[in-house]
Structure 1
Amino acid sequence: MKNVRSTVVFCLLAAIFAAFALSGCSNAKDAKDTGGAGGKDEQVKLVFWSHQADAFIKSYRSMIDQYEQDHPNVKIDFQNYPYDAYNQKLKASFSASHPPDIAEVFGTWVPEYSNNGLLAEVPDGESRKEEYFEAPLGGFMHDSKLYGLPMEYNIENGGMLIHPQMFKDKGIAYPLSTWPELVEAAKKLTVANGDSLKVKGFDFASGDNITFTFLSFILQQKGDYWGENGHVNFQTPEAVKAMTELKNLIVEDKVADLTTFGGQLDTSDYFFKGGSAMAYRGPWTIATGLDSYKVNDFEYVPVPSYTSEPPFFAAESGWGLVVSKKSKHAKEAWDFINYVTSKEQLRKWNLDTFTVPAKKEVASDPDFVKENPYMKTSIDILEYGRWIGPIWDRDYLFKQINDHFQLIVAGKITVEDGLRKIEEAVNTSQDQHK
């Protein structure tokens, strides 16, 4: 289906960013098309873009060096850009018809490109789908076809950071088995300081986790949040119960608050500073504690399901690799991506970047957990992940849920009115993108 709004945005961005986008892009003068990687005489140049993240860049460069040694006729021009500007630069390059051959993209960005026919389909896509978990693949799919391969499983729910000493001091055993047990433990672990909280018993109030926990609570009740025609449906008993539970954690149970919500620091930063006993956050935050805060007196443990059902959760598709349909060297580009996503290389990349494996054979490798034991909690629940669904504007969805959650907690609107307003706003956005 043609995305008119996306097309207009692409054109506007092209006018603004065209000069910037043209720098470093591949063109016909850079190389001759050999028709396949591994040719002996003619040289092929592939331009590869990624966002700036030290661990990612270091791991990519290592794989590029090895690949170029094994394929002396292929030269990979690896360029990376600050995250805040990267997606805009990608849009500009694609709209100016000078995109990189290979691009690292976040899964929620992909539909804007795949729906407009700008990406090359993954060769042998049907068989490749079976290699990955469902949730990471979702964003890379369009009309049942695969347009990229995920490098990670972007998971924000299912595990939490805890301070074992705080549990010991209160005589609380862990891991916790049920949701009521978690709430009761959180109450005991909370330390009040007048009207504020010195130590939050269960800090879940981050920009990502409010939304993901809300959606996961719906799934754990055997509910759904998708209606017809690409619309969300938050007018269900499951949605009302889920949002009410989140409100109660702050209003009635008083195990968390919104005093630091939207600030410069993440909930995990406050946790590592001793500001919470339990922090509901993705496993990527573990590296922050170990590397930035230099602490190791914490654990990453399972969060029990809200119901007696398995701990189903919603997840976005994370970082992955795509090939431009404009690439003159698509065959070589896919050969490089196949190398990067082979079990050996992808396993190393996931370990280097502290990311959760999207590929089943990497996640099931017992040596992976031995080398990074903090990952066990997340890996144990990957089968329960469900792709978040076809949200056109991810940031708008999250903003609507977060903004209305704050109003609900403040008592300015009811749970039911908040959910209705969220649904109306998101569905209007969905319709505008059709």
Structure 2
Amino acid sequence: MQRKIFALLLVLALLAAACGAPATAPGGASEGKITLRLWSHQNPSFIQANEAVIARFMEANPDIEVKYEQFEYDQFIQALQTSMQAGTEADVIEMFGTWVCSYARGGRLAETPLDVISYAEAQELFFEAPLNGYYCDGKLYGLPNEFNLEVGGALVNPALFEGKGVPYPPVWDTMDTLREQASRLSEFDGDTMVRAGFHFIGGDGLPFLLLEGILEQGGSYFAEDGKHFTFDTPEAIATIQLLMDMVQKDKLVDPVLFNGESNPPYDGFFAGVVAASFIGSWAAGQGLVNYPDFKFDYVNTPVLFGSERRYAADSGWGKVVSANSKHQEAAWKLVRFMTVEQENAITFNGVTGTIPALKALVENPQPVLEKAPWIEPTFKLLPYGHYIGDLTDRDKLFYEIIYPAILQALQGSMTAEQAAQTIHVQANEMVDAAQ
């Protein structure tokens, strides 16, 4: 309750300050400078990267001052929702790409001017998955900084592999190989699992595995209208059954003791109770900061079905411009500077440890890899990612519908068919409620 009250007071203070400020530049800047406000969430590495690029921008553009403000994640979301209704948000906003279209369709975001960059030009520069989160109804509304990838990789603990005589570094060319080796890494005290061989049961992990399995079998999770879902399909059922077999037959992980709430993949791994954790490469960067003495690697995992990887990816963090900004030209100059210019993109991806959205940084990777070498295993996966699409409410679909249904199946209280049907019904109820 105290947190909610604090967040409300913060938003009210923010609105009051914004409403009291003049709309034009001379009142908010010294010596006739244009003043731009930029908002982001409070991620230390993101702040460090943004501050470095902003300083570079202001040096190159002495007539523009950038005031950079950050908010704790939950408060950031509240501030966006409240301020955009009132028209008091910052000029430039660091926004998660999968959120962009909902704000754009509400008239809150400015369309990217063609003299800044066209969608066709952006397609040449950026990977499809991160870019297309910013492309809504045939219009471009900003540019990405990162490729948000949650599939295709795992944290691995070399000491635990070597202690069990399991080949290291692992070469998991097929799921059969992964399952056989990971089962040897699980440890028990009687019937109680004390170490998971391969932990994949997370709030992001299960949904992304479900979508990947559907796509790799040639299916689709969208209905023909592009809004509703088809989760009661043979492809979805087969994917859920595969995950159930990894738990119930192979004993790779105990879904009661290891899940998104108890020993989640990141925390469990760095607590030493997980030998390998299926998780995005961001976890490696975060682990190096939080656990500098912990010896680990980040390696590729195999496709779930067939031989060709196909997966859905969120559109990651990037920059957009408010439709209410009085300084559109300057704001878009800042957005392009922070996303398209390679030197600045290297700074952002290198400092944050995120995967580049720019193709050129993967084609010539050394400058980024010098700063963030753990992201290299992801590079071979990037061309095969497709934007996840308009999920109506991504977080609700992932965390309140897909994750709990599959978790129940893994724990034995649902069949694969029942879990798929539950997801199908609840996901479509969500869409209907939003229309």
TM-score (normalizing by structure 2): 0.90
2:118 counterpart letter in structure 1: G
Give the alignment of 1:297-376 within 5 angstroms. 297-341=295-339, 342-367=341-366, 368-376=368-376
Tell me which residue corresponds to 2:185: 189
Q: Which residue among 134, 137, 140 is the counterpart of 1:140?
A: 134
Q: Distance between the aligned counterparts of 1:146 and 1:346, measured in 2?
A: 19
1:392 aligns with 2:392: yes
Q: Which residue among 50, 61, 64 is the counterpart of 2:40?
A: 50
Q: Distance between the aligned counterparts of 1:29 and 1:153, measured in 2?
A: 34
| Cα separation, partners in 2 of 1:410 and 1:199, compared to 1, 3 Å | closer
| Cα separation, partners in 2 of 1:21 and 1:364, compared to 1, 3 Å | farther
1:283 aligns with 2:277: no
| Cα separation, partners in 2 of 1:178 and 1:192, compared to 1, 3 Å | same
1:432 aligns with 2:433: yes
Give the alignment of 1:15-414 within 5 angstroms. 17=11, 19-24=13-18, 28-32=22-26, 42-123=32-113, 124-126=117-119, 127-173=121-167, 174-229=170-225, 230-258=227-255, 259-263=257-261, 266-341=264-339, 342-367=341-366, 368-398=368-398, 399-414=400-415
| Cα separation, partners in 2 of 1:257 and 1:44, compared to 1, 3 Å | same
Q: Structure 2, unaligned stretches of length 5 or more?
A: 1-6
Tell me which residue corresponds to 1:416: 417
Cα drift, residue 142 of structure 1: 0.9
Cα drift, residue 205 of structure 1: 0.7
Provide, for residues 197-250 of structure 1, a one-character-per-residue CA deviation record: whole Å limited to 9, x for no partner: 111111001111011111111122222211122111112211110011111211
Cα drift, residue 428 of structure 1: 1.5
Q: Distance between the aligned counterparts of 2:395 and 2:319, measured in 1?
A: 21
1:196 counterpart letter in structure 2: T
2:383 counterpart letter in structure 1: E
Provide, for residues 378-409 of structure 1, a one-character-per-residue CA deviation record: whole Å limited to 9, x for no partner: 11111111111111111111121111112222
Provide, for residues 170-191 of structure 1, a one-character-per-residue CA deviation record: whole Å limited to 9, x for no partner: 3333221111000001111111
Query: Contact conserved, 2:18 with 2:88, CA < 8 A, in 1?
Result: no
Q: Count how many residue pairs are aligned between Structure 1 and Structure 2.
A: 416
Query: Contact conserved, 1:102 with 1:324, CA < 8 A, in 2?
Result: yes
1:392 counterpart letter in structure 2: T
Q: Distance between the aligned counterparts of 1:224 and 1:307, measured in 2?
A: 14
Identity %: 34
Query: Contact conserved, 1:18 with 1:96, CA < 8 A, in 2?
Result: no
Secondary structure of the residue aligned to 1:45 is: strand
Q: Structure 1, unaligned stretches of length 5 or more?
A: 1-12, 34-40
Query: Contact conserved, 1:178 with 1:304, CA < 8 A, in 2?
Result: yes
Cα drift, residue 292 of structure 1: 1.1
Query: Contact conserved, 2:282 with 2:353, CA < 8 A, in 1?
Result: yes
Query: Contact conserved, 1:27 with 1:98, CA < 8 A, in 2?
Result: no
Provide, for residues 143-178 of structure 1, a one-character-per-residue CA deviation record: whole Å limited to 9, x for no partner: 121111111111111111112233233333322111
Q: Distance between the aligned counterparts of 1:89 and 1:326, measured in 2?
A: 15
| Cα separation, partners in 2 of 1:275 and 1:86, compared to 1, 3 Å | same
TM-score (normalizing by structure 1): 0.90
Q: Distance between the aligned counterparts of 2:373 and 2:241, measured in 1?
A: 35
Q: Distance between the aligned counterparts of 1:290 and 1:17, measured in 2?
A: 34
2:67 counterpart letter in structure 1: D
1:231 counterpart letter in structure 2: H
Q: Distance between the aligned counterparts of 1:148 and 1:14, measured in 2?
A: 28
Secondary structure of the residue aligned to 1:317 is: coil
Provide, for residues 7-59 of structure 1, a one-character-per-residue CA deviation record: whole Å limited to 9, x for no partner: xxxxxx999955533435795455159xxxxxxx8420101111001111111
Q: Distance between the aligned counterparts of 1:266 and 1:208, measured in 2?
A: 11
2:394 counterpart letter in structure 1: R
Q: Distance between the aligned counterparts of 1:14 and 1:96, measured in 2?
A: 15
Query: Contact conserved, 1:152 with 1:356, CA < 8 A, in 2?
Result: yes
| Cα separation, partners in 2 of 1:160 and 1:16, compared to 1, 3 Å | closer
Q: Distance between the aligned counterparts of 1:48 and 1:307, measured in 2?
A: 43
Cα drift, residue 431 of structure 1: 2.2
Query: Contact conserved, 2:211 with 2:312, CA < 8 A, in 1?
Result: yes
